Amino acid sequence: MTKHQVVVIGGGTGGIMIAAQLLKKDPTINLAIIEPSEKHHYQPAYSLVGAGAYSLVDTIQDEVKYIPKDAVWIKEYAQEIIPSDNKVVLASNEEIEYEYLVVAPGLVDNLSLVEGLEEALKKDNVCSNYIDSEKTWKAVQAFEGGNALFTQPTTPLKCPGAPQKAMYMSSDYWINRKKIGDKTNSIFATNGSIIFGIKEFRPALENALKEYDITQYYFHNLVKIDSENQLVYYEVSKTDGAIVNDKNNRAKREVVSDAPPTVTISYDFLHLAPPQQAPDVVRNSPLVYTEGPNKDWMNVDKHSMQSPLFFNVFGIGDCIAIPTARTGAAIRKQVPVVVDNILSLMKKGEIGNMSYTGYSSCPLVLGYGKMLLAEFKYDGIRDSDPLLNTFVDTTKAGWLMWMLKKTGLPYLYWNMMLKGRM
Ligand SMILES: Cc1cc2nc3c(=O)[nH]c(=O)nc-3n(C[C@H](O)[C@H](O)[C@H](O)COP(=O)(O)OP(=O)(O)OC[C@H]3O[C@@H](n4cnc5c(N)ncnc54)[C@H](O)[C@@H]3O)c2cc1C
């Protein structure tokens, strides 16, 4: 059995940042990253690829360039975590022992959670920026009018704003570039109750919904897709406030059953987020919630990122259940806390004093050349960067913020965040 002081599962956004920052603080740490993929993906740009505003090849780099030079790269899947024995079992059955473990394998799509989804995705007019953003761009360009439905499942999502971003970008394209606005009905159907949880950013989103004349359906829980008849089935959990701007039912929403209340919405173009869950290596481990709304997601203290059951195990990123949005931006603020806690445990036997406050952010692209930056923390409180806000009002969509998304943030990601410099 091989032993390392620190083992990191996953070499994505969170795993590489943890490794880079820990080794920058102490290059003598014996650290291993378990990551099977040769490629590293910059996922935040998928929303731009789906609108033809960014190239997919530019979102992919060789993983080897970002594994810190002092780290050991174990190019395999972690299959099982046995925290009572401080070990991880690889897909090859080899066992890796650790003193400290950081769990960061992200999340996975589970298409089987929505009936008909797998079949539907084989059609040219059904797409997802989460799965194949180049296909989205092809489908957007091919659309000639009718119902364009943007929707999402009831599971938690990474970057939960991404389904809306696809809608604003596509609507802008159809109305202002392809000039087919008069024959286009853009529709947003979600299980959520409002367009965005943080009130300061809602007015700009409401303006965009108005500008693109978007029909909205809230409390609509996606259950099934019938791609032969181009219908999506929803159970409606609440009727008050469920329908906004439907203009005499232009979306052809039909009630098909009363118990449970079920409706169909017809589509000519469909963009959706796939249902998402923690990877099996996490779900099958003793590190998860065993019941309740967070069942099968990793359980960590929301301020220290430490497992409540195993003092030497930490979780970051998309695989954990904490009450904030799963984003790379959130990880950027989680990492220093975990680094501080591990170094403090090594030196003093107890975790440090840093606390993660739930910071996350959502760069909402509202059209070509238009972006606002929603930054927030636990309890839905706005948490905008004070320095940035001296130059721009980040609650309003603007060109400077768009350039930040297109060029600034990718540069910071590859050159600063993954290198342990921020
Ligand atoms: C369409 C879209 C738009 C987005 N927009 C934004 C945005 O604008 N801003 C933002 O901040 N975030 C955005 N995100 C979210 C952001 O990309 C993720 O939150 C972030 O990458 C999660 O990092 P992670 O380390 O948890 O997982 P990932 O970066 O996904 O990395 C997980 C890694 O673990 C590896 N792995 C998986 N299973 C195992 C295993 N069993 N053993 C070993 N390794 C394993 C994988 O190969 C992968 O490399 C977006 C995501 C999408 C899909």
The DSSP bridge pattern shows strands 39-41 and 31-34 to be unpaired
Taking 90 as the threshold, does the pLDDT of residue 241 lie above it?
Answer: no
* Residue 34 belongs to domain spanning: 2-107+278-355
What mean pLDDT value characterizes the chain? 97
Extended beta strands in 46-140, E state: 60-62, 71-74, 78-82, 87-90, 95-103, 108-109, 126-127
Between CA 41 and CA 13 the distance in angstroms is 9
Taking 90 as the threshold, does the pLDDT of residue 250 lie above it?
Answer: no
Between the alpha carbon of residue 269 and those of residues 120, 188, 214, 292, 402, the distances in Å are 11, 12, 14, 35, 26
pLDDT in tens, 320-356: 999 999 999 999 999 999 999 999 999 999 999 999 9
Domain-embedded: residue 81 = yes
Over residues 234-239, mean pLDDT: 95
Active-site entry in 9, 32, 329, 362: 362
130 pocket-lining for ligand 1 (C-beta < 6 Å) = yes
Residues 75 and 185 in one domain: no
- Nearest CA to 198 out of 310, 360, 71 is that of 360
Probe residue for ligand 1, chosen from 327, 334, 394 as the CB with the greatest number of ligand atoms within 8 Å: 327
Domain-embedded: residue 409 = no
320 pocket-lining for ligand 1 (C-beta < 6 Å) = no
Task: Please report which helix (H) or strand (E) contains residue 6, including its range.
Answer: strand 2-9
Between CA 326 and CA 14 the distance in angstroms is 11
317 pocket-lining for ligand 1 (C-beta < 6 Å) = yes
Distance from the CA of 318 to the center of ligand 1, in angstroms?
A: 7
For the entire predicted model, the pTM comes to 0.97
CATH of the domain at 334: 3.50.50.60
Taking 90 as the threshold, does the pLDDT of residue 163 lie above it?
Answer: yes
**Is 127 known to be catalytic?**
no
Domain-embedded: residue 135 = yes
Domain-embedded: residue 386 = no
DSSP string, 319-372: GB--SS-B-HHHHHHHHHHHHHHHHHHHHHSS--S------EEEEEEEETTEEE
Residues 219 and 200 in one domain: yes
Task: Answer yes or no: are the C-beta atoms of 322 and 300 closer than 8 Å.
Answer: yes
Residues 167 and 63 in one domain: no
The pLDDT value recorded for residue 179 is 98
Task: Answer yes or no: are the C-beta atoms of 373 and 196 closer than 8 Å.
Answer: no
Domain-embedded: residue 176 = yes
Distance from the CA of 10 to the center of ligand 1, in angstroms?
A: 9
The pLDDT value recorded for residue 21 is 98
Probe residue for ligand 1, chosen from 103, 108, 158, 284 as the CB with the greatest number of ligand atoms within 8 Å: 158
Cα of 344 vs its chain's centroid, Å:
30
Domain-embedded: residue 388 = no
Between CA 157 and CA 192 the distance in angstroms is 12
DSSP string, 146-182: EEEEEE--SS--BSTTHHHHHHHHHHHIIIIIS--GG
